[in-house]
Homo-oligomer: A and B are copies of this chain.
């Protein structure tokens, strides 16, 4: 997530110091408060209080480990455009997609398809099976898939 100079109409009101802290935490989510403080000319206590405040405001949702999908065995990746039936609500679609651990992310979108689904599978065989199962979900009418060739950014 970029922390670089966005307008904040929602009243988030981060100052440059907050941005500095978040920027460093996005590079090393386990950095100590003292280490972060060195960059911002702040004591570890002050850093901690700022991060706590950002956390309670919801700006910081949490911390996580960044894993290599390929080394975990997820070597094939695809995007599936999902076209729903007339009566399918986003809630129904969510309920359908949640079943699949292969679904990394999913969004409802404007345009021809109703949703865009990001999938990870172990190989093309596995990918085919997952797409087939998604197409058979009651709320899904049809789908159109693109296989990811390479990740340019992200």
In the bound complex, residues from chain B placing their C-beta under 8 Å from that of A79 are 107, 109, 116
For A126, the chain B residues whose CB sits under 8 A away are: 7
Cβ–Cβ contact B72 & A12, under 8 A: yes
**A60-B65, A66-B62 are known contacts. Are A116 and B72 too (CB-CB below 8 A)?**
no
A16 at the interface (CB under 8 A from B): no
Copies of the protein in its oligomer? 2
Task: Give the interface segment out of A25-33, A37-45, A130-138.
Answer: A25-33
Chain A interface SS verdict (over half): mixed
Kindly state the separation between the CA atoms of A118 and B12 in the bound complex, as whole angstroms: 23
**Within 8 Å CB of A27, what residues of B?**
62, 64
Interface check A141, CB cutoff 8 A: no
User: How near does chain B come to A46, taking the closest CB pair, in angstroms?
Assistant: 17
Tell me if A47 counts as interface (CB < 8 A to partner B): no
Taking a contact as CB atoms under 8 Å apart, the answer to whether A150 and B107 are in contact is yes
CA distance A145 to B113 in the complex (A): 12
Given contacts A2-B120, A29-B30, A72-B8, contact A153 B98 (CB under 8 A): yes
The contact of A64 among B14, B26, B98, B109, by CB within 8 Å, is B26
Closest to A95 in B: B152
**Shortest Cβ-Cβ A-B pairs, 5 listed:** A105-B154, A29-B63, A6-B73, A8-B73, A25-B65
Can you show 13 pairs from A to B with CB atoms below 8 A apart?
A2-B74, A2-B120, A8-B73, A26-B67, A29-B64, A60-B68, A62-B65, A94-B152, A94-B153, A105-B151, A106-B153, A111-B144, A111-B147
